[in-house]
Chains A and B, each alone.
Chain A
């Protein structure tokens, strides 16, 4: 099958997955409490409740309710937040840049530290430093992220007040997006949350890079490269890392998804005004439209990331043929 055919097939799969997610989200939301009580006054009579149910379409069958839900969604209408009385989509989109910024800073940080350390540990697996790196990475996987964030707050904001512990700080508009990282104050604000978020990803990427490197070091072409007289550094990074990176790309995509999920916790700890904090607040308040938008949007983002990773995968590794 051609690459184009494969791309089209994967796109169709994406649509199917999103459809399945919409059904699951709809069912989950229908089985959890009656939304009518979110919109009517507390002292409403039974007749008023009935009237409200009719107006909201809640008296119809589950199937026709689903089609109304799907139809509205396809037209970009996700309903209004019960709390903010604003379109739920708008609420999420306003906060999305903050989350994306934190996730991107975190994954950049993780990659920049994980790959050199992973290459070193994979190329010299028996040195004490490498063993130390590996033990450290296992510790990194075992740490509860929220606890790390709290301890960072305690040391760097409470005990030694060096860095701020909540909010985004000053932002500056770059290409229409409000970003923190380009102002000094905003940069100080992003350090702790990004570090907290990066830790687990750093540990996992380090381990994958090391495993890939160890696999590559055994290959004949590494020996030939050395025989040819290439320098050790050039062998490691040009011949070794290039081939070891393939599994790293896969894990990069998966980790991006995980980071978005764990951003909910990090944002809660650092009062970072992103989508994750909005989600947790909405769960507490039972603000269903916002939860639905968050779910559908993250589902879309995850599916899109997986799609891109698969395409990149076939491009960078000529050994993988599309099936």
Chain B
């Protein structure tokens, strides 16, 4: 710990206001996702706790606001803050899980393509090229519309979209790495290909992966929110922040803005925090920019 505190990385971090702000936002979100359900009075999924009489209460600082509902309520008397706390968990889970899945698959394919080259390389990279010429949002939209909705389907769609970035990044670093002498030394020492990849190549291509992964979580959260907004994402029984915004859309025209404004604001803060921290990591871990 003391080594970390006196490290160059931490020194730069302490002097980087955006990075501190970003990680503070992320910390708040993590705490909210873990402890939030204990702090909000209502379980938005428990129908018995909903009071229809309390529907469309405005936020507490407006006229007609109810101190029990800090950010107001929706049409079923559901506390907007409670919905956000539960919705943020779903959004964050999807972002992180999709990142892990696509990282796993993309990194494996990138290592195979970069290390072995030849046919495997051509096939994997051609598929990646074709996929990259289409916006990931559109690919995800079609996968969802073709194969149905649900959290598991969102994860599959995001993974199918996201592996490309990892594969390309890892392949690039692997190509640079395998020309170095220590890889040749490992070969001479009689190590098998799999062992070389696992013990020598992988640890050395990890750094760019950390940067890519941070940014990817934010991208995934935004894509998931868009899919859910279009009605092809998560089911209504497990609303993410994006679906909450969608549900608020219909009543927006009657002047009820709080059911959609606040969930959207939380998406923004979450992704902004990730991007601020990701930017710092990129500048810090990318030796070319030093």
Chains A and B come from one and the same complex? yes
Q: Which residues of A come within 8 Å of B, CB atoms? A: 17, 20-21, 28-29, 31-32, 135, 138-139, 141-147, 150-151, 153-154, 158-159, 165, 257-258, 260-262, 264-265, 268-269, 280, 283-284, 291, 295, 298-299, 302-303, 306
Question: When A and B form their complex, which 9 residue pairs have the shortest distance between CB atoms, in order from nearest?
Answer: A147-B264, A261-B135, A142-B272, A142-B271, A261-B138, A283-B145, A258-B135, A32-B146, A28-B146
How far apart are the CA atoms of A144 and B255 in the complex, in Å?
Answer: 21
Q: When the two chains form their complex, are residues B138 and A298 in contact, meaning their CB atoms are under 8 A apart?
A: yes
How far apart are the CA atoms of A139 and B146 in the complex, in Å?
Answer: 33
How far apart are the CA atoms of A257 and B261 in the complex, in Å?
Answer: 28
B13 at the binding interface (Cβ < 8 Å) = no
Residue from A31, A138, A295 within 8 A of B272 (CB atoms) = A138
Chain A residues positioned under 8 Å from B271 (CB to CB): 141-144
Min Cβ gap B231→A in Å is 7
Min Cβ gap B260→A in Å is 6
B35 at the binding interface (Cβ < 8 Å) = no
B252 at the binding interface (Cβ < 8 Å) = yes
B4 at the binding interface (Cβ < 8 Å) = no
> CB within 8 Å of A: which of B168-210?
none
B130 at the binding interface (Cβ < 8 Å) = yes
Q: When the two chains form their complex, are residues A28 and B142 in contact, meaning their CB atoms are under 8 A apart?
A: yes
Of B135, B141, B225, B276, chain A has the most CB atoms within 10 Å of the CB of B135
A155 to B, closest residue via Cβ: B257
How far apart are the CA atoms of A261 and B136 in the complex, in Å?
Answer: 9
Q: Identify whether the interface residues of A are mostly helix, strand, loop, or mixed.
A: helix
Chain A residues positioned under 8 Å from B260 (CB to CB): 147, 150
Q: When the two chains form their complex, are residues B255 and A159 in contact, meaning their CB atoms are under 8 A apart?
A: yes
Q: When the two chains form their complex, are residues A280 and B264 in contact, meaning their CB atoms are under 8 A apart?
A: no
How far apart are the CA atoms of A47 and B58 in the complex, in Å?
Answer: 59
> CB within 8 Å of A: which of B116-175?
130, 133-135, 137-138, 141-143, 145-147
How far apart are the CA atoms of A90 and B51 in the complex, in Å?
Answer: 50
Can you name 17 A-B pairs with beta carbons within 8 Å?
A28-B142, A139-B272, A141-B271, A142-B272, A142-B275, A144-B225, A144-B267, A144-B268, A150-B249, A150-B264, A154-B252, A154-B257, A257-B133, A261-B134, A262-B226, A264-B141, A269-B249
B225 to A, closest residue via Cβ: A144
Given contacts A32-B147, A280-B230, contact A144 B279 (CB under 8 A): no
Residue from A147, A158, A291, A306 within 8 A of B133 (CB atoms) = A306
How far apart are the CA atoms of A268 and B138 in the complex, in Å?
Answer: 14
A-B contacts besides A158-B257, A261-B138, A295-B142, 18 pairs, CB < 8 Å: A135-B18, A138-B275, A141-B271, A141-B275, A143-B271, A144-B264, A144-B267, A146-B226, A146-B242, A147-B264, A154-B257, A154-B261, A158-B253, A258-B137, A264-B141, A265-B226, A265-B230, A291-B145
